[in-house]
Amino acid sequence: MVLCPVIRKLQHQWVVLASASPRRREILSQTGLRFEVVPSRFKENLQKASFPTPHAYAVETAKQKALEVACRMHQKDLRTPDIVIGADTIVTVGGLILEKPVDKQDAYSMLSRLNGTEHSVFTGVAIVHCCSTDGRLHTEVTEFYEETRVRFSELSEELLREYIDSGEPTDKAGGYGIQALGGMLVESAHGDFLNVVGFPLNRFCRELTRLYYPPPREGPQQLTHDPLPALDTRDNLSDAEGGGSDAAQSQEACGGRAEAGGERTQAEGAQEAASNRTGDGPPPFPIGLLELIDGFKASKALFTACKLKVFDLLKDETPLRASEIASRFGAPRGGVAQLLDVCVALGLLEKTRRAYSNTDLASRHLVSDVEYSLHGLVMHHNDHTWNLFSHLERAILAGPGPGHTSLGDKATHLSQNSRDQSKEATLGLLRATHGLAKLTARQVATAFDLSWFTSACHLGGCTGALAHALAREYPRLQVTVFDLPEVLEHVACFQPEGRQTEQIRFLPGDFFTESLPDADLYVLSRILSDWEDDKVHELLSRISGSCKPGGGLLLVDTVWDEEGPENATVDEARRAARNGLRRALDGLVWPPRAQRSLAEYRRLLQRHGFRDVAETRAGDQLHVLLGTRPSPREAVPTRPLRGRLHCRDA
């Protein structure tokens, strides 16, 4: 058997199985491997919702089990094993993870879910190689998972109750054991049978063979540079005292090379290109591509840190050690320390003398209760957007589903979608859009001098972020936020304290079907790009009919850049590229939004009676247009722009 040389190599290794399961012990014994059983004390309390897939949860649990045993044996027993094997088996159905039932009622609930359906059994396995130098434990982790699809027959109530009364489900993931009485519940199984029992022996043997006897490379190879670095750099991150990482240094080096690209001679470039064409040398090292491939890991690390409220824990500016932070979560130190070090490498945390504190960026935007927090936006992407992009293949092949809209760059999607959402989903989306709106509210409020208006109505104003900015800038301005009742019932928790709140009122209503509140100035912020022309004309017609002579319409939206890159500055070209990529990514899972040029928006306003249309920019994404309704006697002049240069630089 191909495994025999591996087993011989491990004869003098101290191998530990971090599991008390007699089934895993029996299966692993079939390899002829000699090992010691040291049950893990890791509390299996990882938050399932923080993992993108069920098998990721199983793999992480297996790894934490093995690491707990390795650390405990090294620290308390003063002995370091060579290899620790951890495993965790879960049953999943409809995205729900089923572990061991806590009682008979829980077992009945699990088995009822599985009755007559197909489910997946995942086993995550971690092989931890350990060594000790200078009294410190060093580990290298190999992890994998195996999936088996199992289908239950249609079972009667009596059969399920009888099986539960046998006592077998109590210590089995999913509430059944396929190798014993539970086998009578199973109609079919596709995949490794032993994986359902609790340990994927075939895959484990293949992984051991791959680790100790990797396949030879075909043909002679000449390396003129270092081989590809391992994509998993967690060990390097954990050892970094100052929070740096090889990956970050490589990125900096790559950026430096890109900036210095103009200093290379044409001859050098031509020589390199010719070398690549003729095969005389390897292609340029694709640092940028590797960073793109790894990018999702950084996003998920940020999402997880926010979900655990790491930045809230550190907001008091008192540095905490990894062990102190882990104790607050009731989690093992190892995984928490790795997450903290990743946040250091991402520039979100600072690390000094093994203690962690927030960076200025995290303090401003990642603490959940600060003024310009984007914590709600991060949570929305973690809880909803991540799942959409995790199933991107399905979305591409099936096409966008009805009712999906992009969160990316507007704060008023709620106005048209909240009736189809649960209250919790609406509140979560409000938190996300409120954070985005706060970032640009003051820039929008100061894009023009609006001091000559005495009343304003923000249609679809959601939490009132822009309304509060208008009230702060213009103390004489009374502002009405007009939005759906199901939106406004949640806004109380978003209202700041201050005198300007007396200037603001929230009025429930539908601006397509009900009379609009009286106002000198109407505001539409990031709404029109959600609708086709017929709905846009209908809304603008209603506003025009309500707007008195001398009144105005402030229109805020993303605008298609009609000038193109040829007439743009470098910063404008980069901004257009970023926004274009953002729109393209959103378009993968949501219906594309209407893209109108600045000239088209200007014509829309003019068609509905608004004259002297002026335009400026607020931040990277937004354009602001102000049109006025002329009085019968004379046209109302557009007031001079206020802070135009400031807005362009923002």
Chain centre to alpha carbon of residue 319: 26
Question: What pLDDT shows up at residue 453?
Answer: 93
CA gap 201, 148 in Å, rounded: 13
**pLDDT (mean) for 215-233:** 40
What does pLDDT average to over the chain?
Answer: 78
Tokens of 417: 């979608």
- The letter for the amino acid at 538 is E
**Percent over 70 (pLDDT), the chain:** 76
- For the chain, what percentages of helix, strand and coil (3-state, to nearest 5) are there? 45, 15, 35
Tokens of 630: 């002329």
Instruction: Fill in the DSSP letter of residue 381.
Output: I
Question: What pLDDT shows up at residue 250?
Answer: 33
Instruction: Fill in the DSSP letter of residue 443.
Output: H
Pick the CATH number of 242-256+293-399 from 1.10.260.40, 1.10.10.10, 3.40.640.10, 1.10.3190.10: 1.10.10.10
Strands 96-98 and 36-37: unpaired
Read off φ and ψ for residue 209, nearest 5 degrees: -65, -40
Task: Work out the number of other CB atoms within 10 angstroms of the CB of residue 586.
Answer: 19
Q: In what order do the strands lie in the sheet with 349-352?
A: 320-321, 355-358, 349-352
H or E element that contains 146: strand 136-152
Q: How confident is the model at residue 638 (pLDDT cuts 50, 70, 90)?
A: very low
Among the residue ranges 212-221, 267-276, 368-377, the one predicted with the least confidence is 267-276
Q: In what order do the strands lie in the sheet with 611-618?
A: 504-508, 478-483, 455-459, 521-525, 552-557, 622-628, 611-618
Check pLDDT > 90 for residue 370: no
H or E element that contains 287: helix 287-307
Chain centre to alpha carbon of residue 97: 20
HSE of 317 in the Cβ direction (CA atoms, 13 Å)?
3
Q: How confident is the model at residue 150 (pLDDT cuts 50, 70, 90)?
A: very high
Question: What pLDDT shows up at residue 547?
Answer: 92
**What are the distances in angstroms from CA 99 to CA 236, 390, 589, 621?**
33, 23, 32, 46
Please state which CATH number belongs to domain 4-212: 3.90.950.10
Question: What pLDDT shows up at residue 450?
Answer: 93
Contact 412, 432 (CB under 8 A): no
- The letter for the amino acid at 363 is S
Instruction: Fill in the DSSP letter of residue 385.
Output: I
**Active site (annotated) includes residue 383:** no
Catalytic residue among 77, 82, 88, 280: 88
Pick the CATH number of 402-649 from 3.40.50.150, 3.30.70.380, 3.30.70.600, 3.60.15.10: 3.40.50.150
Question: What pLDDT shows up at residue 262?
Answer: 37
pLDDT by residue (tens digit) across 514-552?
Answer: 999 999 999 999 888 778 888 899 999 999 999 988 899
**Closest of 437, 495, 503 to residue 470, by C-alpha:** 503
Question: What pLDDT shows up at residue 217?
Answer: 52
Higher pLDDT, 596 or 285: 596
Domain ranges of the chain: 4-212, 242-256+293-399, 402-649
Task: Work out the number of other CB atoms within 10 angstroms of the CB of residue 216.
Answer: 6
Contact 118, 150 (CB under 8 A): yes
Asked whether the whole model's pTM tops 0.75, one would answer no
Ramachandran class of 496: left when φ > 0, alpha when ψ lies in -120 to 50, beta otherwise: beta
Tokens of 629: 């309704």
| Dihedral sign of CA atoms 216, 219, 224, 227 in order | negative
Check pLDDT > 70 for residue 591: no
Return the beta strands (E) in 274-419 as ranges.
320-321, 349-352, 355-358
**Closest of 518, 467, 515 to residue 491, by C-alpha:** 467
Q: Which residues pair with 560 in a beta bridge?
A: 597
Among the residue ranges 131-135, 354-358, 626-630, the one predicted with the least confidence is 131-135
pLDDT by residue (tens digit) across 119-132?
Answer: 999 999 999 999 88
